[in-house]
Chains A and B, each alone.
Chain A
């Protein structure tokens, strides 16, 4: 197995031209085949399996052919363990390059010092072409398929010395960070790097809404009024359309959410805040709408059947939104748009695909959705490098203004932590769902750049009474090192990209350059996160024009975003009206986040009517744009 002759042409084309200039330097008709070549090359050079002795999965009673299992097993019928909850993260780098760092290099330079000197937000740098629904959707989608199992409390934590003058609350004691919990060694692991497991299913299967275990799914499906399973396959919501509060006695709380009490009950409620809750809420309501639609065509089927079909449909709709709305919003260039749109519809485009269907099996012509399943060089799993690429906390502002969508009147000014965890229901009572969404959609997130990491997230009060705080910026730096994600220069080389040979080539911003130089001995030591954020100001190999993130991260995304579709049977071989039902198939084809918000928050419609992308800033209430939208 290897690249097809067709792929080899694109690979050769990209290698030839990429040696002269990076892909985004070239005009669009040249850049596009170069991107096809980059992806084809990476599919055979940057996918590595870490499962040496996968478990045997007994076949359950579920109809695995036409519905998703709760734990993600049996997506691949030949290798049912593939991508299931508890499976290991794979790698995008050769395994010999992914050994976790050990002291003293693990702590050099000091992660807290990197956080203080390079990441801490000095002044909010906005991403002026995006709204806060963009960073809100990020954890919403990440929770679908990524969560490292809870960090080990048995092993002694990492101890990080505090730099002189640091105001960290534990001072004079060092900062401590829990260690990542490695998977137990299995036969065949000898001499290989430590592997880590995923608490969620690796699939793009909406497990953030439905959970990754049967028990969690049962809780989500329980009617809060009766404490019984909703008989018609709906998600259990309160009469006001919001989630019930999770009882602390639940047996399988998700890893992240378990840390805080009184959270709303959803499939995954880690890092819970009102923005994330709003997305969960509208998609839970969307699930219930889909059930109502299916009941019209299938009045006599069971609630179980309705739930499973609605889940398939909602998962596919979320994937479509992520592919043709969210990602192109953050890659606002002709190349970025066509790359993502053609992942779904192919180069022939939406009108052709919806009018005539597929021409053939080629994904480049008619899209990945509906093409044959292919895992390429390794069995499917998400990767540590993909997780590292999604470290985008700089997108989050520190403070939020909640305003009325009717007159833009200020209702509540709050910090992130004021609207997080158990405080979410109170925010809904004060502000209301429509106003929450309006407020996020009319405010800018932070730009992905150095010195823009939200300071609130650099001092999260986990258990303030016990003096337990978290500096998420330092954690981000340490996790990549601990889990063997190569540092920036090596990371780029292993992706087939040129690496900066000096600090001068790393960034064109002289202030940033001097600050980085003061912490790192050589450019080879620069951490992945620091390097990718410095790409915001780097030429000629910096962020592509119109992109909110770096080219380095984009290379991982172009491989993995396609892979999440291409490996999943329910988006490829079994993405058919027969499996989804005709009504379900049409639902996926006809809807977008725009239509979902229109359905559940109709009063907001005039405010985003003139936004090209739902993740771009909406019109403010009362503005000329909103008047035009109302017309």
Chain B
């Protein structure tokens, strides 16, 4: 008899998969929120780092938007299974953002790379989490 038929074992597998997804999501959200915060507090530093021409008036609203986007993803971080539609939208959003940053070109390509790496990682971990959660059900 395989351990997979045991409720306790399969719940632990699902919890472990959830932990991995939540850790990766937390890392992403912290970096994303910090970047947003930096853009709100020190827009000129961000503008300079991205080699944007002054004035930097548009950076602060973008930073605010990033904070808002990070906040909207908190329910997914908290419980991706119950917020699965939001989770799927968030993952698709990451891929879309990666595309948009890539189109912007220049130093934005680094941001596109960051988005793409996390989009793939989160998609994979979410898939594993969903499968493990399903396999903990009757």
Residues of A within 8 A of B (CB): 27-29, 128-129, 324-325, 328-329, 332-334, 337-338, 341, 348-349, 351-352, 592, 594, 609-614, 616-617, 625, 628
Contacts and interface: CB of A to CB of B under 8 A. Distances in A.
B84 A349 contact: yes
Interface centre among A612, A613, A625 (most CB of B within 10 A): A612
A348 B138 contact: no
B1 A329 contact: no
Contacts of A325: 138
Given A351-B82, A610-B7, A129 B138 contact: no
A324 B134 CA distance: 12
B2 to A, nearest CB: 6
Nearest to B81: A349
Contact of B134 (A329, A337, A592): A337
Given A334-B135, A337-B134, A614-B138, A129 B7 contact: no
A167 to B, nearest CB: 36
A242 B115 CA distance: 65
6 contacts: A29-B127, A341-B137, A349-B81, A594-B138, A614-B138, A628-B8
B103 interface: no
Given A28-B130, A592-B138, 11 more contacts: A27-B127, A29-B127, A324-B138, A333-B135, A334-B131, A334-B134, A349-B81, A349-B82, A612-B7, A617-B1, A617-B5
A348 B8 contact: no
B127 A328 contact: no
Contacts of B127: 27-29
B123 to A, nearest CB: 9
Contact of A611 (B6, B131, B134, B137): B6
A28 B5 contact: no
Given A29-B127, A349-B84, A128 B8 contact: no
Interface centre among B8, B10, B136 (most CB of A within 10 A): B8
A338 B137 CA distance: 10
Nearest to A338: B134
A372 B128 CA distance: 34
B4 interface: yes
A189 B24 CA distance: 65
B85 interface: yes
B126 to A, nearest CB: 10
Given A612-B5, A628-B8, A329 B138 contact: yes
Contacts of A617: 1, 5
